[in-house]
Amino acid sequence: PPRKLTTALLAATVLAACGGSSGSADGGLPALPPPPAQAACDDQAASRVPARVDEQIGIDTAANLGPAAPLIGFIHGIAAPSGPDADFHAEAAARITALKPALWRVSDARHHAKAKALGAQQIMYSSADELFGYQPVYYPWNDSGTRSGSFDNWARFDANAANLLQRGLAPGQGVDYWVVLNEPPVSHYTDAERQQLLETYRHGWHNFKNGRPEQNVVGPTSLGFNALLIQSFLDYAAAQNLKYDAIDWHEIGTRPEDVVAHASEVRAMLAARPGLGTPAITISE
């Protein structure tokens, strides 16, 4: 049967106006007009009375509503109570399995087999934590947001990527997508550092693809939809002949219609760069 999720909606506040008030409300705003039939109140000033109205909305996560393929799942937060190497309590595992979480986005290879056992159909590995472990100030906020790290230790970067790839290829691991870099803080970077950022993507692509063309690599995995970053990323990829398997970013907003508009914008960017092929679009957060 279709899986359904329910959510409760909290209704708006009920405004009760009492007779006898005059003048202006807070900040000089005009007072509310009295209702046609005023109710008696102990306090003659207008008062706000909160009220709750619960409604149930069903969300059928198994319904096919078009070309988009929603995958309910988990981001990073998989951890057993006693650590990542431990198993979940049977009751917790049963609850997770019942949700049928198809997509898991993890940042520790020890979670892969566990995720598969709990129903994962796809695993997206966010490799940034380990790939950039050699550079403690790679992310500006790791140094009070005052400076970004250097990008010059490519030998160690490549060695770490090779190690991650081997772990991902181990039996039972099954990484479906490799994320080269998670949410790069481009607003903190100089023009020179942004160019080095593109070189970082190039290293990651070759590290995961060379000799293993079946491996899927995604980017730029930006924080929010950043059209300028995606354009620069695609221009660089076209110039370097880097054919990514998916273009990925994180939607940080409150308007669902923006997701459709952003996806259309990226498809137009790809159409203008036919050499990049037809990569998928993955909005992983």
| pLDDT tens digits, 59-81 | 665 666 666 666 666 665 555 55
* Whether residue 57 is found in the same domain as residue 29: yes
Query: Both ends of the chain: CA-CA distance in Å?
Result: 27
Domain edge (last residue) among 61, 76, 92: 61
pLDDT given at position 82: 54
Provide, rounded to the nearest whole percent, the portion of the chain with pLDDT above 70.
Answer: 55
- The parent domain of residue 24 ranges over 1-61
Query: In the predicted model, is pLDDT for residue 116 greater than 80?
Result: no
pLDDT (tens digit per residue) in 88-109: 777 878 888 888 777 777 666 6
Q: Which of 83, 90, 13, 91 is nearest to 53 (CA)?
A: 13
State the pLDDT confidence band at 155, using cuts at 50, 70 and 90: confident
110 shares its domain with 13: no
Most confident of 196-200, 224-228, 237-241, 255-259: 237-241
**This model's pTM is above 0.75:** no
CATH code of the domain containing 279 = 3.20.20.80
Residues 187 and 229 in one domain: yes
Q: Which of 15, 45, 61 is the last residue of a domain?
A: 61
- DSSP E strands in the chain: the ranges are 4-8, 14-16, 47-49, 56-60, 73-75, 103-106, 122-126, 177-179, 217-223, 246-250, 280-283
One domain, residues 50 and 76: no
Q: How many domains does the chain have?
A: 2
The more confidently predicted of residues 241 and 181 is 241
Across residues 192-201, what is the average pLDDT? 83
Shared domain for 121 and 185, answered yes or no, is yes
pLDDT beyond 60 at 283 = yes
For the residues 139-168, what does the mean pLDDT come to? 62
